[in-house]
A = this chain, B = another copy of it.
């Protein structure tokens, strides 16, 4: 065509002609306000004579953890010497003048500024007046005035921008405004405030706030719905540098400063910014098993190392899978003051772009057609919930909101997800933003077994409505136990309410598969014990005849090694069985599974997936059942020695014995604990078969109270090995 010149792929284009100023998207940048701002050009040059006007000697931010501000604002846990307060609640500053303050004569104000090009109407320049008759969006008052020291109380608006502000005290003179020079040690952070009712993140329960804002230790549940594992995690939201790293996440994602007071927009933006897709966000997803150029997702012990690495390298950190995204997202939300928790959905429908069907194709003999079965159901999937009201929606959809930072592969650019009202999902009101249909499908999809005949036509053979979204868990408040929250997402199967929800969702185009298949006379269930990696074990097939006729089942037992994403890696077993069941009787058949058949095929977070399907009496009735068997990794033994007291040296000792017939190579151990020790890593190039290892590290507790040390061991042949130990530090 007729381009006049060969041109580069996408030249940089300036904002000229497009906007008056570039949009402020950095909390790190910002000009200093002038020390003297004359009222007009006719003012005398230089500083005016100051005899008559207040001179400012010092401003005390009262920012020590034991002083009033951090105590009353629940920010004393932060490892950060600057003032950190929460919006909508008064904090105090102590200003020392050169002489006593005379309210009838002296005029001064306190100014708060964030980002570049600050403006009152954008909430980025907030002048606070102390005169009760002249209050702006942020309120101010003189608390007391003793000699030349004035204590002022400042109440930021309950919807103000969240981030790091610059502070100035400004004195009005007839010639102009004279203000303090900017001093970075007097910068302050303003956070969301779930303790005050005017904030949209208000949560009226002190016990919940202790968990969802203040608790740095967490548990992420994984495994299988009937065989749950609990992985400890150090959220570390109060650790040194984390608050700055969380603000950097928004800066890097070019989030306009003016949007940062809205928890809906903050949560939505962060769901995109936590993953590296599109925007060079925090974490690179990798499920491939090859983690050569980074840290294996199973190896992390907490969020601290990840966020600090991201903030210092300014590059995405390698690597994450769903629980890493969820755990780091949780740190981000709690750090900024949005109540948050990690939830785990067992059997999560995914990668099917929010439709309500996960398809399993059987051939005309009843065997799984692996080539045509492309959908997968994740054994579990972790996401987050954050707590806030939803003024953008009709009333009733506030409360917990699902947000998800794991990038979804098949969806239409859905590298962000939520916030979606959990209440709206439960009631099938999925027409409201953001991404409610997607979350609805994750917990409500049907598993549809199709039978495909030779000429290529397909029929629905069976619909399993209860497999997906079997159980949804989060850590209980104040205890290291799971709390089941399935009922927040869905009504009980078979109830009237559930039917109403199905109809409503159907009205919004989320149509469930009609189950036209006949209920088979024989019901099949798969049973197994808890299995450790390397065990031989039995899978028991229980056929239950619910009819008065004798039946014969020709069954196929398909056993696969699967990733936790439900993706099949390799076949471990294929067996045909013929079973006869007498009327109204049960018949059990045991299938032996030997470690030598699966051990060499294991991929990370190994689980075995069995699908048994078959035909009844060589007729049209299909019998089928699925079972995921998670393989339990060996545990770490962790001991702590020394006097548990602040600033006294202690020692942690990790013990592990390789239980296998083979060597473990290239093994990483990692340990950390909130308030106890920063993340430490140890590398072993080899742990021989049946050999023990012992690793001892010193640490010095930084603050008193209950805390935990969390340890992982990780290598290509063995993932999800971890342990934790409780420590109670005396002051």
Q: Which residues of B contact A448 (CB under 8 A)?
A: 121
Q: Which residues of B contact A409 (CB under 8 A)?
A: 15, 18-19, 23
Q: Are A285 and B13 in contact (CB under 8 A)?
A: yes
Q: Which residues of B contact A293 (CB under 8 A)?
A: 5, 7-8, 11
Q: Are B374 and A1 in contact (CB under 8 A)?
A: no
Give 1 or 0 for each of A1-27: 1 = CB within 8 Å of chain B CB.
Answer: 111110111110111111111010000
Residue in contact with A284 in the complex, picked from B10, B21, B565, B679, CB distance below 8 Å: B10
Q: Are B23 and A410 in contact (CB under 8 A)?
A: yes
A413 within 8 A of B: yes
Considering only residues 375-418 of chain A, those with a C-beta below 8 Å from chain B are 375-376, 391-394, 409-413
A412-B19 contact given A172-B455, A392-B437, A455-B109, CB 8 Å threshold: no
Cβ distance A718 to chain B, nearest Cβ, rounded Å: 16
Q: Which residues of B contact A117 (CB under 8 A)?
A: 374
Considering only residues 532-588 of chain A, those with a C-beta below 8 Å from chain B are 563, 565, 567-569
Compute how far the CA of A285 lies from the CA of B17 in the bound complex, rounded to whole angstroms.
11
Cβ distance A280 to chain B, nearest Cβ, rounded Å: 7
Q: Which residues of B contact A458 (CB under 8 A)?
A: 120-121
Q: Are A258 and B353 in contact (CB under 8 A)?
A: yes
Cβ distance A570 to chain B, nearest Cβ, rounded Å: 12
Compute how far the CA of A175 lies from the CA of B257 in the bound complex, rounded to whole angstroms.
68
Considering only residues 124-138 of chain A, those with a C-beta below 8 Å from chain B are 125, 127, 129, 134, 136
Q: Which residues of B contact A567 (CB under 8 A)?
A: 16-20
Residue in contact with A309 in the complex, picked from B3, B125, B374, CB distance below 8 Å: B3
9-residue interface stretch from A265-273, A610-618, A623-631, A637-645:
A265-273
A44 within 8 A of B: no
Q: Which residues of B contact A683 (CB under 8 A)?
A: 4
Compute how far the CA of A359 lies from the CA of B125 in the bound complex, rounded to whole angstroms.
14
Considering only residues 174-194 of chain A, those with a C-beta below 8 Å from chain B are 177
Cβ distance A668 to chain B, nearest Cβ, rounded Å: 8
Q: Are B17 and A412 in contact (CB under 8 A)?
A: no
Q: Which residues of B contact A308 (CB under 8 A)?
A: 1
Q: How many copies does the complex hold?
A: 2
Compute how far the CA of A380 lies from the CA of B448 in the bound complex, rounded to whole angstroms.
51
Q: Are A17 and B565 in contact (CB under 8 A)?
A: yes
Q: Are B289 and A412 in contact (CB under 8 A)?
A: no
Q: Which residues of B contact A455 (CB under 8 A)?
A: 107, 109, 127, 129, 172, 177
Q: Are A259 and B412 in contact (CB under 8 A)?
A: yes
Q: How large is the interface on A (under 10, 10 to 19, 20 to 34, 35 or more residues)?
A: 35 or more
A412-B2 contact given A18-B565, A20-B567, A288-B13, CB 8 Å threshold: no
A240 within 8 A of B: no
A394-B431 contact given A15-B409, A315-B9, CB 8 Å threshold: yes
Compute how far the CA of A177 lies from the CA of B453 in the bound complex, rounded to whole angstroms.
12
Cβ distance A380 to chain B, nearest Cβ, rounded Å: 15
A529 within 8 A of B: no
Considering only residues 198-257 of chain A, those with a C-beta below 8 Å from chain B are 253-256
Give 1 or 0 for each of A313-350: 1 = CB within 8 Å of chain B CB.
Answer: 00110110000000000000000000000000000000
A456 within 8 A of B: yes
Residue in contact with A456 in the complex, picked from B1, B8, B177, B258, CB distance below 8 Å: B177
Cβ distance A719 to chain B, nearest Cβ, rounded Å: 12
Q: Which residues of B contact A279 (CB under 8 A)?
A: 413
Q: Which residues of B contact A19 (CB under 8 A)?
A: 351, 374, 376, 409-410, 565, 567
Beyond contacts A13-B287, A14-B290, A17-B288: 8 other A-B pairs, Cβ-Cβ < 8 A, are A7-B294, A19-B351, A19-B409, A20-B567, A258-B410, A265-B412, A393-B508, A432-B432
Kindly list the 8 A-B residue pairs having the minimum CB-CB distance in the complex, ordered from nearest. Answer: A17-B287, A18-B287, A2-B681, A391-B509, A7-B293, A16-B288, A23-B410, A121-B359
User: Can you list 24 A-B contacts with CB-CB less than 8 angstroms, sorted by A residue number?
Assistant: A1-B309, A4-B668, A9-B316, A10-B276, A11-B293, A11-B294, A13-B286, A13-B319, A15-B287, A17-B288, A18-B288, A18-B563, A20-B568, A23-B410, A121-B357, A121-B359, A125-B456, A129-B455, A134-B457, A269-B413, A391-B507, A392-B508, A431-B432, A433-B433
